[in-house]
Amino acid sequence: MAFTDRHGGVSRSPFDSLDLSGAAGRWLDLAQNADRVARALGVPRLTLMEQIHGADVSVLDSSNPPQTPCDAMVTDSYHVALCVRVADCVPVVLADADAGVVGVVHAGRAGVMTNLVGSTVSTMRGRGAEAIEAWVGPHVCGGCYEVPAKMRAEVAAVVPTAYGCTTWGTPAVDLGAAVSRQLENSGCRVTDVGSCTLESPNLFSFRRDADQSGRLAGIVVLKEPAT
Ligand SMILES: [Zn+2]
């Protein structure tokens, strides 16, 4: 299990340097950066998804990417490095190492509204997962994620812990708190790895840098137990 930061890749400014977005014109950088991460994790490649802020969970049994866009992936196959890419949204990594089932989730505002982490956990349980550990990766914190009051009300109506205020006193959504609560409600043991993407110069943030922002990743891979 790992979360990347912006260091150690080949991309040049302003995407320096471990940008995993693969946006137009940056495919070559993505290939090289993903290869570096894969090698560091001891896997042949990263399995990426085309994320669309949707509600679909893909179940994979090979290292081929999902055939359709999705915002969560689950596998019980060895050496398939599931990868979620974000810049401010919440990257979630899930694992039941004993049962041998892992998953990743792209949890933004839309994902919170549909409880995508809950559906992903259900999918994992359908493959035999029981005691699931969840890691909530770097994301824009509740003190920085300013939204219109109406939007805050909409999200908080679904998950009350999402209700937040910025450090300057305006309406905000606390995505991390919302996702953590949904994970706990699904029976996961949750660890928040901390770090606000907007505040940390070591992380990519769309709110801070807009089109000049790269993407960081949450990754999980199931390895064969040593015999
Ligand atoms: Zn912050």
Superfamily of the domain at 50-204: CNF1/YfiH-like putative cysteine hydrolases (3.60.140.10)
Task: Note if the pTM is more than 0.95.
Answer: yes
* Distance from residue 123's CA to the centre of ligand 1 (Å): 31
Secondary structure letter of residue 196 according to DSSP = B
* Distance from residue 174's CA to the centre of ligand 1 (Å): 10
* Distance from residue 223's CA to the centre of ligand 1 (Å): 34
Local confidence pLDDT in tens for the 227 residues of the chain: 999 999 999 999 999 999 999 888 899 999 999 999 999 999 999 999 999 999 999 999 999 999 999 999 999 999 999 999 999 999 999 999 999 999 999 999 999 999 999 999 999 999 999 999 999 999 999 999 999 999 999 999 999 999 999 999 999 999 999 999 999 999 999 999 989 999 999 999 999 999 999 999 999 999 988 87
Question: Dihedral through CA 221, CA 57, CA 111, CA 23, nearest 10?
Answer: 70
Please tell me the distance from the alpha carbon of residue 72 to that of residue 174, in angstroms, as a whole number.
20
* Distance from residue 160's CA to the centre of ligand 1 (Å): 19
Segments in the chain forming alpha helices (H): 27-41, 109-113, 116-126, 149-158, 175-185, 206-209
Query: What are the sequence ranges of the domains in the chain?
Result: 50-204
* Distance from residue 19's CA to the centre of ligand 1 (Å): 21
* Distance from residue 197's CA to the centre of ligand 1 (Å): 7
* Distance from residue 200's CA to the centre of ligand 1 (Å): 8
**For residue 108, what are its two tokens?**
């933004």
